[in-house]
């Protein structure tokens, strides 16, 4: 039995070695692509168009699987060899993927094209150190205020939005126990957290000033929000109920449009006031991107590079916007009439003026931030003095600093 096992294993190893040898011109093997569920059909159609336009890849077998941007990074890291050759993911996963050896850097030619065709924020988002690791696909991973204009007539202040919703017996959704939405408060008051990343995806240094008067003001803003009877912690429109306003990105626009109907409106996030000072809510501006897995075969790498460049290019970004309203990162698509006239994307663009481009964060940042948010919602800090709040923020800051590993 053991002998048989060993024999099978060694045979498999030899087969995989032979499998690596392939033809130099063109490519005709399998290429696996992971995209979000609602992009599977579109990607399949576009991949066929690509094959039609490039005869040398006509025999390439493109397999498209539905793996959401949220899961793909974890799946890739768990099993790089079994993972997709091209996969979509959100930019917060970039450093993690690079550190795990699941991304190959862009070829110099493709890097030039990407830099020339996409907006600056999205290019910065795919760059670690000075190396480009992925193809920007969207420039819409931000959040803004979606509201019912029949209930909320003045969406300019957070307090106003909450009171107007409460007066109508409705709720306001804002997921403050999430490191992504939480930054709206901290960045709004001027507290920031970023990490320096080296070319290999290691987070080498934390730049953070949460333990500051600004941080305390932000935390108090969150506590005030959590105390309000109209507040509900959450950002998932499909599972929300009875809401008049929800802070979320473009991906829930269809659900929200169905809920609000004619009265659907969107605008930048409101302001909030702490101790007489008014701050504009800020937050992360984010991007979705396509990554390419390291390849052991030059011919396949060339094919996958070309396909990824195409799938992240102008034509497919336009198609994505038309089908599902994904905000483009491509400069030409951004200038198209349809995109400019879209009130949801306009609201996003307006909010992005106040937002910071999202860099790389360690995995534990998100759980630590959730811990802080959960503590706020649980009312742990409700009776705290400023000094006590500062102590909590020092603790929070120390954890975030400890997450960086100086090399």
The two tokens of residue 164 are 């107007």
What's the rounded Cα separation, in Å, for the pair 300 and 69?
A: 23
Question: Element (H or E) spanning 89, and its range?
Answer: strand 86-90
Site string for other proteins, 94-133 (x = CB under 8 A): --x--xxxx-xx-x--------------------------
Q: Is 364 a residue that touches other proteins (CB under 8 A)?
A: yes
Q: Is 198 a residue that touches other proteins (CB under 8 A)?
A: no
Contacts of 75 (CB under 8 A, 6+ apart): 34, 67, 83
Would you call 338 helix, strand, or coil by DSSP?
helix
Residue pair 128/197 in contact by the 8 Å Cβ criterion: yes
User: Taking contact as CB under 8 A, which single stretch among the options 58-66, 316-324, 332-340, 367-375 is the one that binds other proteins?
Assistant: 367-375
Of 105 and 254, which CB lies nearer to other proteins in the complex structure?
105
Contacting other proteins (CB under 8 A), which of 240, 307, 333, 389?
Answer: 240
Site for other proteins in 44-73 (CB under 8 A): none
Contacting other proteins (CB under 8 A), which of 28, 38, 74, 346?
Answer: 74
Site string for other proteins, 139-178 (x = CB under 8 A): --------------------------------x-x---x-
Contacting other proteins (CB under 8 A), which of 12, 66, 167, 378?
Answer: 378
What Å distances lie between residue 96 and 76, 305, 373, 400, 404, CA to CA? Answer: 10, 21, 23, 16, 13
Q: What are phi and psi of 60, to 5 degrees?
A: -65, 140
What's the rounded Cα separation, in Å, for the pair 184 and 176?
A: 9
CB neighbourhood size of 116 (10 A): 9
User: Taking contact as CB under 8 A, which single stretch among the options 3-11, 52-60, 142-150, 151-159 is the one that binds other proteins?
Assistant: 3-11
Tokens 């009875």 correspond to: 242
Would you call 220 exposed, middle or buried from its count of C-beta atoms within 10 A (0-12, 13-18, 19+)? Answer: buried
Of 12 and 58, which CB lies nearer to other proteins in the complex structure?
12
Q: What are phi and psi of 208, to 5 degrees?
A: -145, 140
User: Taking contact as CB under 8 A, which single stretch among the options 47-55, 77-85, 182-190, 204-212 is the one that binds other proteins?
Assistant: 77-85
Contacting other proteins (CB under 8 A), which of 199, 242, 353, 388?
Answer: 242
Q: Is 391 a residue that touches other proteins (CB under 8 A)?
A: no
Contacting other proteins (CB under 8 A), which of 83, 188, 221, 234?
Answer: 234
Q: Is 16 a residue that touches other proteins (CB under 8 A)?
A: no
Contacting other proteins (CB under 8 A), which of 157, 273, 346, 370?
Answer: 370
User: Taking contact as CB under 8 A, which single stretch among the options 62-70, 239-247, 268-276, 339-347 is the one that binds other proteins?
Assistant: 239-247
Would you call 87 helix, strand, or coil by DSSP?
strand
Would you call 203 helix, strand, or coil by DSSP?
strand
Of 70 and 261, which CB lies nearer to other proteins in the complex structure?
70
User: Taking contact as CB under 8 A, which single stretch among the options 9-17, 37-45, 52-60, 262-270 is the one that binds other proteins?
Assistant: 9-17
DSSP character string of 263-328: GEEEES--EEEETTEEEE---EE--EEEEE---S-HHHHHHHHHHHHHHTSHHHHHHHHHHH-PPB
Total length of the chain? 407
Q: Is 86 a residue that touches other proteins (CB under 8 A)?
A: no
Contacting other proteins (CB under 8 A), which of 294, 338, 353, 386?
Answer: 294
Residues making contact with other proteins (CB under 8 A): 1-3, 5-6, 9-10, 13, 74, 77-78, 80-81, 96, 99-102, 104-105, 107, 171, 173, 177, 202, 229, 232-234, 239-242, 294-298, 301, 363-364, 367-368, 370-372, 374-375, 377-379, 392, 395-396, 398-399, 402
């Amino acid at each position: 039995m053991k002998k048989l096992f060993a024999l099978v294993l060694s045979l498999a190893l030899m087969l995989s070695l032979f499998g690596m040898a392939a033809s130099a011109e063109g490519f005709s093997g399998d290429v696996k692509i992971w995209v979000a569920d609602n992009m599977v059909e579109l990607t399949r159609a576009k991949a066929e168009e690509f094959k039609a336009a490039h005869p040398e890849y006509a025999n390439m077998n493109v397999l498209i699987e539905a793996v959401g941007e949220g899961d793909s990074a974890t799946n890739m890291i768990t099993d790089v060899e079994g993972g997709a050759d091209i996969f979509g993911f959100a930019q917060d996963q970039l450093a993690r993927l690079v550190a795990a050896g699941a991304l190959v850097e862009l070829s110099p030619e493709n890097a030039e094209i990407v830099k020339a065709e996409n907006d600056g924020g999205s290019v910065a988002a795919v760059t670690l150190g000075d190396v480009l690791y992925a193809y920007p696909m969207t420039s819409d991973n931000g959040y803004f205020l979606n509201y019912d204009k029949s209930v909320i007539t003045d969406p300019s202040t957070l307090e106003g939005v909450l009171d107007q919703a409460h007066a109508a017996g409705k709720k306001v959704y804002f997921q403050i126990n999430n490191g992504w939405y939480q930054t709206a408060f901290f960045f709004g008051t001027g507290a920031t957290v970023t990490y320096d990343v080296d070319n290999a995806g290691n987070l080498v240094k934390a730049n953070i000033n949460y333990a500051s008067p600004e941080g305390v003001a932000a935390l108090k803003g969150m506590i005030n929000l959590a105390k309000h009877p109209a507040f509900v912690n959450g950002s998932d429109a499909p599972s929300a109920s009875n809401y008049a306003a929800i802070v979320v990105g473009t991906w829930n626009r269809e659900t929200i449009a169905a809920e609000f109907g004619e009265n659907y409106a969107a605008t930048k996030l409101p302001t909030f006031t702490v101790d007489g000072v008014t701050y504009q809510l800020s937050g992360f501006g984010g991007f979705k991107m396509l990554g390419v897995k390291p390849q052991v075969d030059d011919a396949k790498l060339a094919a996958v590079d070309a396909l990824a460049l195409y799938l992240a290019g102008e034509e497919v970004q336009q198609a994505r916007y038309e089908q599902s309203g994904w905000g483009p990162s491509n400069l030409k698509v951004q200038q198209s009439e349809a995109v400019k006239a879209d009130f949801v994307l306009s609201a996003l663009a307006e909010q992005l003026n106040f937002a910071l481009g999202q860099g790389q964060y360690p995995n534990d940042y998100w759980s630590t931030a959730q811990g802080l948010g959960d503590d706020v919602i649980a009312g742990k800090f409700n009776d705290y003095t400023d000094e006590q709040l500062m102590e909590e923020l020092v603790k929070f800051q120390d954890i975030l600093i400890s997450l960086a590993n100086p090399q």
